[in-house]
Structure formats: structure tokens, C-alpha cells
Structure 1
Amino acid sequence: MAAINCIIIEDELPASILLELHIAKFDFLDLKGKFTSVSNAQNILKSHKIDLIFLDINLPGKSGIEFAKSLFSETAIIFTTAYTEYAVEGFELDAIDYILKPISLERFTKAISKYTKIRELNEVVLHAKNLEIERAFIFVKCERKMLKLFLDEIHYFESQGNYLLIYTATDCYKTYQSITEMEDKLPEGLFVRIHRSFVVALNKVTSYNANHISIQNKQLPIGRFYNSTVSHLLNSLPGFDN
């Protein structure tokens, strides 16, 4: 398992020492620091990516509850406290766990197990989403076989009568289907129809004006019917501000 960067924010020295001893029993937990208040922990949160915080609730200055509300969702919280009355509010903040002091190794291990399971599940989901976005593909019938084309390799589609040409950086594929049929198969946000004969990949557009779009050295016309939609979409993309 990859290292998990963690910190302790605890103003009671015995509780802080006990947490440090528990953390030391797990090779994948990398303790980056111990702090007695939220304000003292701010610098390390700015300089390091902290995955997990063991957070007391009754702290000097800002409470653990207040602090947890200000954190990004990527940082997980395990509350450590001597009081049961904060449990509901703690879990409403999507805390991984809520451990009552004194914290036994058995109870600590249970909390870490819960965190690692959630972390692994999130990593699997994120990996699947990244694969779906980065390497989405379509199958097209080309030369009597079904050909797999990755969407991130396609530059544009061109309608030619009753067939469709699919252009990548190095190849052109011919398939017998309409451009409208193809447009319906494509995920939203990656491609845009600019003309009755052309659909282009937005991330392959290198320049444009009111009448044309350029992809590498190829200039493609923008149809009058599509002009306002295309201009609005392209103007909203990063790096294409006018």
C-alpha cells in the first residue's frame, strides 16, 4: 500500500503520545507531525499533501469540528475525543470514524481498516473514471471488420454522401454511416458539430475564427447554422478567451 501521510492535532500530551505509538505499528502510516492546535498545523497542511488527520474536537482556538468543515474532501478525518455528544455532528462531516479516549490499539486498528477500505475503493473508482475519460473508444465497421478507435486519437469526422471519413493524426478511416448517427454515439463535451458535414474534437482545435476551425494544418468551415453554438462553446474553453 502507498504511504499515507497523516498528522495528529491533539492538545493532551498522553493522548498524543498514545496515538503516535499506535501509528508507529502501521508501516504505511507516515506521521508528518504532531500539533496542539489547528493554527499550529496550518503550515504543514500548506506544504504537504496530508491524507489523514487524527483530530481532537476540544482544542484551543478553533475547534476540531470547525476546522473539519474548512477542509477539502480529499483529506480524511478520524475524530479523537473524550466526549460522546459530538458523534452525530462528526459523522455528518463524513468523518471516517469517531474514537473515544482512551484509544485502545484494537479500536485504532478498526478505524484504520475502515479508512484503508474507503481509500482503496475511491482509488478503484477514480482509476475506472480516468480510463473511461482518457481512453474511451468506439467500434466502426471499416473494410468488412469492426475497428476499435480511441476517441482521444480522432481529430474530426467528415461526411461524404452515404459514408463517413474519420481522421486521426496519421490515418483516415471510411465507414458507411451518417454523420448524425455518429454524432449520437459520441459523449457530450468532447466533440462538436460545426457544419452539416463536419464534427470536430474540441481538444484538437488549434485556432478558429467566425468562419473556420483549424486542426493542425487542416481548415474546416463553420456552417452558418452552427456558428453561434460553436463560437459560444469554443470561447468557453481554457486558452480560447476572446
Structure 2
Amino acid sequence: MAVINCIIIEDELPASILLELHIAKFDFLDLKGKFNSVSAAQNILKAQKMDLIFLDINLPGKSGIDFARNIHPETAIIFTTAYTKYAVEGFELEAVDYILKPISYERFAKAINKYSKMRELNEIVLLTKKTEAENPFIFVKCERKMVKLFLDEIDYFESQGNYLMIYTETNSYKTYQSISEMQEKLPEGLFCRIHRSFLVSINKIICFSTNTVQLKEKQLPIGRLYSSAVSQLLNSLIRN
């Protein structure tokens, strides 16, 4: 696991020391400082990003609850307190956990395990979003299986009655949905409807005329009702 930068904001010295001892048992937790109030921690919070804060609630000056309401959304919080009455507020603020003092190592480890799982899940979600943005894909149902197809590998879609054929350079796939339904699922700017039966990857078009578009190994007709819109789109790409 990647190193997790964390701080303690706790005004009771015994509780602060105990938290520090617990943190020291986890190699991936990097304690950047201990502070007895929110105001005392402001400088380090401005200077560097914190992944996790162990935060008391009853603090001098601004309370932990008030502080948590304005914390950066990427900074996680584990509340540490002697009072159960703030638990509802703590979880409404989407805190990772709410630990009651005195904090045993077992309870602390449980909170860290919970945070680690949440962090791993977030990283997976972010990686998936990044991958999808860089190389978008769709899932289509083909022969009772959901098949993942990267959009940059698709040459064109062809409507054939009540099903849709999807052609890549090396394979073809048959799925039972309309070409209009597929068009609605695709991001704008990547595919062009050239005919009632054909939806073509713009990047795969090699050349075109008023009546046809040429792909690497396939020439497809431009429908009469689509010719004006297709011509405007393709000519605009030439000008750009």
C-alpha cells in the first residue's frame, strides 16, 4: 500500500501518545505531526496534503465537528472521542470511523483496515474512470455474454433486422439492439451515422465522396437522408 500521510489533532496528551504508538505499528502510516487544536494544525494542512486525520471532537477553539465540515473532501477523518453523543454527526460527515477512548490497539486496527479498504476501492474507481476516459469502451451482450469492446477498435455498426452487427478489424459481434439505441450510448464526436443501417467510426474513415465513405477494407453507402449532415461533418474535419 502507498504511504498514507496523517496527523493527530488531540488536546489530551495521553490519548495523543497512545494514538502515536498505534500509528507506529503500521509501516504505511506516516505521522506528520501532533497538534492540540485545529488552529495549531493549519500551517501543515496548508503546506501539504493529508490523507488521514485522527481528530478529537472536544477541542479548544473550533471543535472537531466544525472543522470536519470544511475539510478537503479527499482527506479522510477518523474521529477519536470520549463521547458517544456525536456519533450521528460524525457519520453524517462521512467519517471513516468513530472510535471511543480509551482506544485499544484492536479497535484502532479495525478502523485502519476499514480506511484501507475504502482507499483501495476509491483507487480502483479512479483508475477505471481514467482508463475509460483515455480509452473508452462499451459492454455489449453477445451470445449470452457481456463483451468489452474498446471504441477505438470498432470500425462500424451495421443494423440487420432486429439485431446489430459490430465490426472491428479482426472480429465481428452480434447483439440484439437497435442502431439508434447504440448511437445514444456512444460518446459524441467518435461515430457518425451515415445511413439508416450504418454507424461509422470517424477515425476509421480513409476517404469519402458524396455517396460513400471508405474504411480500410470496406466501402459503405451514405444514405440520402444523411448525406447533408455527413458532408458538413466530414468537411468540417478537413477544415480543422
- Same fold by TM-score greater than 0.5: yes
Is 1:185 equivalent to 2:182 in the alignment? yes
> For residues 15-30 of structure 1, what are the structure 2 equivalents within 5 Å?
15-30=15-30
Identity percentage of aligned residues: 63
Against the structure 1 CA distance between its residues 138 and 27, is the aligned structure 2 distance closer, same or farther, given a 3 Å change threshold? closer
Q: Distance in 2 between matches of 1:59 and 1:39?
A: 10
Q: Distance in 1 between matches of 2:4 and 2:68?
A: 19
The aligned residue for residue 14 of structure 2 is: 14
The aligned residue for residue 93 of structure 2 is: 93
Against the structure 1 CA distance between its residues 184 and 23, is the aligned structure 2 distance closer, same or farther, given a 3 Å change threshold? same
1:137-177 per-position Cα deviation (integer Å, ceiling 9, x unaligned): 588xxxxxxxx9632578x9899xxxxxx9xxxxx99x9xx
Q: Distance in 2 between matches of 1:57 and 1:201?
A: 57
Contact 1:183 1:199 survives alignment (8 Å): no
Against the structure 1 CA distance between its residues 19 and 135, is the aligned structure 2 distance closer, same or farther, given a 3 Å change threshold? same
Q: Distance in 2 between matches of 1:79 and 1:188?
A: 43
**TM-score, normalization by structure 2:** 0.62
Structure 2 counterpart of 1:17, one-letter code: I
1:44-98 per-position Cα deviation (integer Å, ceiling 9, x unaligned): 2233221111000011221100111112332111101112211121122111111
Q: Distance in 1 between matches of 2:32 and 2:200?
A: 48
Q: Distance in 2 between matches of 1:10 and 1:70?
A: 18
Q: How big is the shift at 1:184?
A: 3.4
Q: How big is the shift at 1:224?
A: 8.3
The aligned residue for residue 135 of structure 1 is: 136
> For residues 105-184 of structure 1, what are the structure 2 equivalents within 5 Å?
105-133=105-133, 134-137=135-138, 150-151=150-151, 182=179, 184=181
Q: How big is the shift at 1:131?
A: 3.3
Alignment root-mean-square deviation, CA: 4.5
Against the structure 1 CA distance between its residues 70 and 152, is the aligned structure 2 distance closer, same or farther, given a 3 Å change threshold? farther
Q: Distance in 1 between matches of 2:66 and 2:201?
A: 45
The aligned residue for residue 65 of structure 1 is: 65
Q: Distance in 2 between matches of 1:14 and 1:74?
A: 29
**TM-score, normalization by structure 1:** 0.62
> For residues 40-59 of structure 1, what are the structure 2 equivalents within 5 Å?
40-59=40-59
Contact 1:194 1:223 survives alignment (8 Å): no
Contact 2:193 2:200 survives alignment (8 Å): no
Q: Distance in 2 between matches of 1:101 and 1:191?
A: 54
Q: Higher mean Cα deviation, 41-50 or 61-70? A: 41-50
Structure 2 counterpart of 1:102, one-letter code: P
Q: Distance in 1 between matches of 2:77 and 2:58?
A: 15
Q: Distance in 2 between matches of 1:75 and 1:8?
A: 13
Q: Distance in 2 between matches of 1:190 and 1:73?
A: 29
The aligned residue for residue 75 of structure 1 is: 75
SS at match of 1:83: coil
Contact 2:157 2:179 survives alignment (8 Å): no
Structure 1 counterpart of 2:22, one-letter code: H
Contact 2:194 2:200 survives alignment (8 Å): no
Contact 2:99 2:107 survives alignment (8 Å): yes
In the alignment, structure 2 segments of 5+ residues that lack a partner are 141-147, 159-166, 173-177, 204-225, 234-240
Contact 2:51 2:74 survives alignment (8 Å): yes
